[in-house]
Structure 1
Amino acid sequence: MKSLFIFSKCLLLLTLSISAKGDEHKKAKAWEHFVSDYSKQVRQKLKEKSIPGAALSITHVKYGDIAKGYGKTKVKKGRPVNGQTRFRLASVSKTFAGSLTAKLAADEKVDLDKYVADYLPIFRGSQYAPLRVFHLLSHSSGLVPNAYDNLIESRMEYDNIYPRLLKVDRLCRPGICYGYQNVMFSLIGNVINQATGLSYDTWLNEFIFKPLGMKEAGLGYEHMTKDDNFALPHVKGRKYWHTAKLKKHYYKVAPAAGVNASAEDMVIWLKAQLGLYPSVLSLDALTIQSRPFTLTKRELRRRVWKKYVEQAHYGLGWRIYSFEGETIYYHSGWVQGYRTDVAVIPSLGIGFSLLLNAESGLINQLTTDFLRKAIDVAREVEPH
């Protein structure tokens, strides 16, 4: 009788094990089918709009990654875009600044609550003396939006631009209102240099890119053009896309817009945001960067996805949304000739990035479609 009981118990466990494996196989197949269909959708939409080139990165903590290139690096005589082709990330660069600063804060090398003036004496005695480090990265300095972006586009060096901010009357006290910045945001590079004795470039290259194995990632114009496997910018004429000159302007604000990376690099970056590289980005760092510092009501009115977003904030270099009931971390980028998007859904273990070498609003539709469908698929295979 006892042996019969043991046999029955073993049979039950075996049945449950087979069932679990079958369920997991179905979930993996469902995700694989979704990614395949979405990749085809991207290819078709890019073709319809004659977009010169694109790089797509998708990761799932259980079901793997894809890093794909589409099209050409330039419309005439360009080389095919592949997984190693570098794209300019534009303002998606802010996610790297936010994560790096959160890492330094977790390691007690930078104090987010300290006054900026403690690191940069030029702010002492000014109307921005109350400015704290976290205000820089959360766009809550009190400045009018995009202050002195026009000077970024001039020949003036960054070190001659940012002191002018002290003369701009603030709209509100730091921490009260939201105003998107590039010049003020990039002061985090100066803060990091003063706090640690190492430059922003050194920290990003030696403590983020290299340990993560982001082989094509780097900062600046010279890095972008080190060989011919980079996507050139494109602007739309009356009917056709035209290759534009790669401009250096926004590279001068490296934390805000200075990073270049490939599809393969972005897969790694997404996985780091999902906690898969804790030696580089710890759970403490990821928690710090995702604190919702600043309310951004305007984002609730974005035309393409306003019916999906319930809440919108800005953390440290990352936008934080409640999208169809899921918390997502997101950022977009736009500089002449490029559009970029990155999104992470931590609770579902999903990451997404799309990089275009063209100024096309198509990216809004493609990103929204991915988020909606990925959430639906994840909820079907793993109900909350």
Structure 2
Amino acid sequence: MFKPLIGGVLVLLLLAVAFFLWAARRVEMPAAEPDRGVGISNEQIARIGERQQAPDSVIDYERLDRRLAALMHEDRMIGLAVGIVENGQIRFLKGYGVTTAGTEEPVRVDTLFRWASVSKGVAGDMVSLLAAEGKLSLYEPIGKYSAAIRLPGGIENRATVANALSHSLGLAGHAFDNKLEEGQDPRMLRAQLSTLNLICAPGQCHAYQNVAYDSASDVVEKVTGKTYPEAVKERLFDPLGMTSANMSREGLVSAASWARPHVGGKNSKPVEVTEPYYRVPAAGGVNSTIKDLAIWMQAQMGLAPRVLTPTALDAAQAPRVNTPGELGRMRKFRERLKSASYGLGWRIYDYAGHHVIGHRGGVRGYRSLVMFDPQLKSGVVALWNSSTNQPGGLEFEVLDMLYRLEPRDWLGVDGRTTPEQPAPEAVGNNMQDADQGN
């Protein structure tokens, strides 16, 4: 009489075990579907003009479109892609110009570009996310997590993970970028940083890095047991629905539509896609479409909390070190730009009394930008395939619309004297059109 009872108990136990294993697997796996707070479907892109007519909109999209079209008449402009998020919603995605000078292949919203140093925010977010999960501490020595890095006087055992991601290790700016561009192995270069002299104690000054910054990839690989691109794809890009985003030269040039890099004008030929900064993926390795960069910006606004938690975003976007050099580079905009600091892969500004976050990037033949107001959940992203910095004024024109400020010709398309756009910070041997980081 007990056999049926025992059999039933065994069945229930097996079902319980099966459910436990299924639930555990669900917890371990990242969300496969994009977070509902971000993204835009192809159907919505086709009808994006309807979003621009929303009652809460303060951006004059028609005027902005006219000004961008005028910008494309400049000789140095080849191709450009722009995205705008307003009140948390992607309301503008458009390509201008061509992927290659002398052709008629248009830049579309699915054309791939390089992010260059805008990639640094990915590393800042990824490490902050792991810290929020208790898998590392931002305030432990960088040497604990990066076996490759060696700093002067052994300070890798005192300088923190946060120091590395805020460019405040105490090294001179762009240390060994020139050797990286010559083709030397970045992990070997990180070990050779110990031969340099410090310009300040860790945490006491800001000096922009690429080789040292990529110690972030070492941190992620040690903590996750995966390569940096694998971990970022699994934890960030895939859950956000950023289907085009990748971190390799092959991932760029094999795309159905990709923008070729240019350093000359409309009559020039494209130059080679350079490899060195793909070898420091945390510093400058990401490629994507403008759509996916806009989705990335939405996530920075807190619209994808299942992927990027508020704790992780707060850690990445908190000011860590003042950057007076940045104010110097942006001096033409000091009418409204009042302060500048750096977080973990992100720049933080006071623009006309408003708290804004962003970054710029430049690598040979490509430029990029992202700028947003996290409170208003509004901002702009842009990617272009030439070495001109003129489109950089776009971020300020969008901010002026958001804040209802008197417009300025920041893009320089009105035929009047206009502020010169700040170039991405020079790197390496400072050769014209060499790879750059910002």
Task: Say yes or no: TM over 0.5.
Answer: yes
1:62 and 1:177 mapped to 2: Cα distance?
Answer: 34
1:179 and 1:76 mapped to 2: Cα distance?
Answer: 39
From the superposition, tell whether residues 78 and 88 of structure 1 become closer, same or farther in structure 2 (CA, over 3 Å): farther
Counterpart position of 1:94: 120
Counterpart position of 2:354: 326
Amino acid at match of 2:364: Q
1:26 and 1:57 mapped to 2: Cα distance?
Answer: 12
2:403 and 2:84 mapped to 1: Cα distance?
Answer: 13
1:45 and 1:27 mapped to 2: Cα distance?
Answer: 24
Q: Given the alignment of the two structures, is residue 289 of structure 1 paired with residue 312 of structure 2, yes or no?
A: no
Q: Which residues in structure 2 correspond to 1:1-384 (within 5 Å)?
A: 28-29=54-55, 31=57, 34-49=60-75, 51-61=77-87, 64-77=90-103, 79-121=105-147, 123=150, 126-236=154-264, 240-301=267-328, 302-376=330-404
Range 40-49 or range 185-194, more displaced: 40-49
Once the two structures are TM-superposed, the CA of residue 129 in structure 1 deviates from its matched residue by 2.7
Deviations 1:249-269 (A, max 9, x none): 211110000000111101211
Answer whether contact 2:379 2:398 (CA < 8 A) is retained.
no
2:324 and 2:251 mapped to 1: Cα distance?
Answer: 37
Once the two structures are TM-superposed, the CA of residue 97 in structure 1 deviates from its matched residue by 0.9
1:29 and 1:148 mapped to 2: Cα distance?
Answer: 51
Counterpart position of 1:6: none
Answer whether contact 1:53 1:73 (CA < 8 A) is retained.
yes
Instruction: Provide TM-score, normalisation by structure 1.
Output: 0.87
From the superposition, tell whether residues 157 and 63 of structure 1 become closer, same or farther in structure 2 (CA, over 3 Å): closer
Counterpart position of 1:8: none
Counterpart position of 2:411: none
Once the two structures are TM-superposed, the CA of residue 35 in structure 1 deviates from its matched residue by 2.1
Once the two structures are TM-superposed, the CA of residue 63 in structure 1 deviates from its matched residue by 5.4
Answer whether contact 2:83 2:291 (CA < 8 A) is retained.
yes
Answer whether contact 2:321 2:342 (CA < 8 A) is retained.
yes
Deviations 1:1-27 (A, max 9, x none): xxxxxxxxxxxxxxxxxxxxxxxx999
2:88 and 2:156 mapped to 1: Cα distance?
Answer: 47
Answer whether contact 2:76 2:387 (CA < 8 A) is retained.
no
Once the two structures are TM-superposed, the CA of residue 33 in structure 1 deviates from its matched residue by 5.6
Once the two structures are TM-superposed, the CA of residue 120 in structure 1 deviates from its matched residue by 3.2
From the superposition, tell whether residues 296 and 50 of structure 1 become closer, same or farther in structure 2 (CA, over 3 Å): closer
1:274 and 1:56 mapped to 2: Cα distance?
Answer: 18
2:104 and 2:232 mapped to 1: Cα distance?
Answer: 30
Deviations 1:289-315 (A, max 9, x none): 111101001222213322211111100
Once the two structures are TM-superposed, the CA of residue 228 in structure 1 deviates from its matched residue by 3.8
Range 40-49 or range 272-281, more displaced: 40-49
Structure 1 unmatched ranges of 5 or more:
1-24, 378-384
Once the two structures are TM-superposed, the CA of residue 76 in structure 1 deviates from its matched residue by 2.3
Once the two structures are TM-superposed, the CA of residue 283 in structure 1 deviates from its matched residue by 1.0
Amino acid at match of 1:281: L
Residues matched between the structures, number: 353
Range 277-286 or range 152-161, more displaced: 152-161
Deviations 1:227-249 (A, max 9, x none): 34111101126x84431111112
Q: 3-state DSSP class of the match of 2:332?
A: coil
Amino acid at match of 1:257: G
Identity percentage of aligned residues: 33
1:251 and 1:108 mapped to 2: Cα distance?
Answer: 29
Answer whether contact 2:88 2:378 (CA < 8 A) is retained.
no
1:26 and 1:332 mapped to 2: Cα distance?
Answer: 26
**Off by >6 Å, runs of 4+ in structure 1:** none
Q: Which has the higher helix share?
A: 1
Amino acid at match of 1:284: T
From the superposition, tell whether residues 26 and 54 of structure 1 become closer, same or farther in structure 2 (CA, over 3 Å): closer
Answer whether contact 2:52 2:92 (CA < 8 A) is retained.
no
2:348 and 2:88 mapped to 1: Cα distance?
Answer: 23
Q: 3-state DSSP class of the match of 1:95?
A: helix
Instruction: Provide TM-score, normalisation by structure 2.
Output: 0.76
2:198 and 2:59 mapped to 1: Cα distance?
Answer: 51
1:111 and 1:80 mapped to 2: Cα distance?
Answer: 46
From the superposition, tell whether residues 307 and 30 of structure 1 become closer, same or farther in structure 2 (CA, over 3 Å): same
Q: 3-state DSSP class of the match of 1:65?
A: strand
Amino acid at match of 2:259: A
Amino acid at match of 1:269: W
2:264 and 2:67 mapped to 1: Cα distance?
Answer: 22
Range 78-87 or range 118-127, more displaced: 118-127
Answer whether contact 1:186 1:255 (CA < 8 A) is retained.
yes
Answer whether contact 1:65 1:267 (CA < 8 A) is retained.
no
